């Protein structure tokens, strides 16, 4: 059976890593992509085949994906963008009736992750500190603002003084006003975690984000530090959660203070660093969902692995030039 990665966009490395691990395990599976505009998607061009689909928000989107899977012997769907997670979490039991797994957590967990207000409440329940809320009408500077349903750092900003706090911000219905976490003392981490079919964590890899572009790590290290036992103690079992999850945190190594920011229940854009550090989530997925093996918790990955990302390109010539 084959794999369908939806909305893969520019995730060329993710597609190729799936292809490499399939070959390494001796499987005959192919990696397909589903895209709104596959001709303009680099990931679609390197996949084993692609399918054109309507926008995620369209009526019948899930049904179209289901038909693609049924007609092409696809056994696993891997969503990659926030906007389709909730829809597919609601439909995954329908897919399962056709022996098709969707690598997405249950609806309740996805709903919590999509609303950062609920995410902060959830983190508090798990014993993870969050940034203190700021009264926007009696602000203390500096502060930080971001929408409770945003992604890729859109509309997120540090506000240093009252003159930067505009009426538009004050009247924005979705903006959260919170304590600014000083990056002179705290380092920013995205922590990749893999949850097995039993909802128990199998791997925890903190990625220190030393340079970020468009909300994704551009340069960074995999660090085997205090965050590993810290999270293992608090979130080792999450009911209804499967596959890759990324928790964003700030960490002060001087006093081991950890501040939780958000949870992304999917492959993070910076997952390749985790993979190259040899915490192989993709192999875990293939072993669990294709070979029906049980995955054990492991910290057997390479500390201080560095990633330096760069732009590359895919060029296609018109058929008349071939």
Buried b (16+ CB within 10 A) or exposed e, 169-190: eeeeeebbbbebbeeeebbbbb
Which pLDDT score is estimated for 151? 67
Q: Domain ranges in the chain?
A: 2-104, 110-127+183-308, 143-179
Counting as low any pLDDT under 70, the low residues of the chain are 151-153, 322
CATH class held by domain 110-127+183-308: alpha beta
Which pLDDT score is estimated for 153? 64
Rounded Cα–Cα distance for residues 132 and 284 (Å): 37
| Environment class of 316 (CB within 10 Å of its CB; exposed 0-12, middle 13-18, buried 19+) | exposed
**Token couple for 296:** 């054990």
Which pLDDT score is estimated for 152? 59
pTM of the model: 0.94
Q: For the structural domain made of 2-104, what CATH number should be given?
A: 3.40.50.20
Contact by Cβ (8 Å): 37, 9? no
Which pLDDT score is estimated for 156? 86
Please determine whether the domains at 2-104 and 110-127+183-308 fall in the same fold group of CATH.
no
Report the DSSP pairing between strands 216-222 and 187-195. unpaired
Q: What is the pLDDT of residues 146-188, one digit of tens each?
A: 998 876 567 788 999 999 988 888 888 889 999 999 999 999 9
Rounded Cα–Cα distance for residues 177 and 132 (Å): 9
Rounded Cα–Cα distance for residues 164 and 170 (Å): 11
Q: What is the pLDDT of residues 49-64, one digit of tens each?
A: 999 999 999 989 999 9
By C-alpha distance, which of 204, 185, 218 is closest to 303?
204
Contact by Cβ (8 Å): 288, 197? yes
Rounded Cα–Cα distance for residues 300 and 74 (Å): 31
| Residues pairing with 257 in the sheet | 252
Extract the runs of DSSP E, i.e. beta strands, from the chain.
2-6, 31-35, 49-52, 74-79, 101-102, 143-147, 157-159, 175-179, 187-195, 201-213, 216-222, 243-252, 257-264, 305-308
| CA dihedral for 128, 248, 198, 196, sign (positive or negative) | negative
């Amino acid at each position: 059976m084959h794999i369908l990665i939806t909305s893969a966009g520019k995730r060329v490395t993710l597609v190729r890593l799936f292809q490499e691990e399939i070959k390494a395990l001796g499987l005959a599976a192919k990696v397909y992509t589903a895209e709104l505009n596959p001709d303009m998607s680099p990931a679609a061009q390197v996949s084993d085949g692609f399918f054109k689909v309507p926008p995620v928000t369209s009526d019948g989107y899930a049904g179209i994906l289901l038909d693609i899977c049924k007609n092409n012997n696809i056994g696993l769907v891997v969503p990659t963008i926030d906007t389709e997670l909730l829809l597919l979490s609601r439909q995954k039991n329908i897919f399962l009736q056709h022996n098709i797994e969707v690598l997405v957590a249950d609806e309740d967990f996805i709903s919590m992750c999509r609303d950062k207000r609920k995410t902060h409440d959830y983190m508090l329940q798990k014993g993870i500190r969050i940034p203190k809320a700021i009264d926007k009408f009696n602000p203390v500077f500096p502060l930080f603002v971001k929408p409770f349903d945003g992604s890729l750092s859109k509309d997120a900003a540090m506000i240093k003084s009252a003159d930067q706090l505009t009426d538009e911000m004050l009247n924005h219905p979705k903006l959260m006003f919170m304590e600014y976490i000083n990056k002179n003392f705290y380092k920013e981490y995205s922590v990749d975690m893999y949850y097995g079919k039993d909802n128990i964590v199998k791997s925890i890899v903190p990625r220190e984000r030393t340079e970020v572009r468009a909300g994704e790590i551009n340069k960074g290290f995999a660090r085997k530090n205090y965050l590993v036992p810290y999270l293992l103690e608090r979130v080792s079992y999450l009911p209804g959660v499967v596959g890759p999850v990324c928790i964003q945190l700030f960490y002060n190594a001087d006093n081991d203070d950890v501040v939780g920011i958000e949870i992304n229940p999917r492959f993070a854009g910076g997952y390749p660093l985790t993979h190259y550090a040899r915490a192989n989530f993709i192999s875990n997925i293939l072993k669990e969902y294709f070979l029906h093996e049980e995955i054990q918790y492991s910290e057997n990955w390479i500390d201080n692995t560095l990633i330096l990302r760069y732009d590359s390109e895919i060029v296609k010539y018109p058929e008349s030039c071939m």
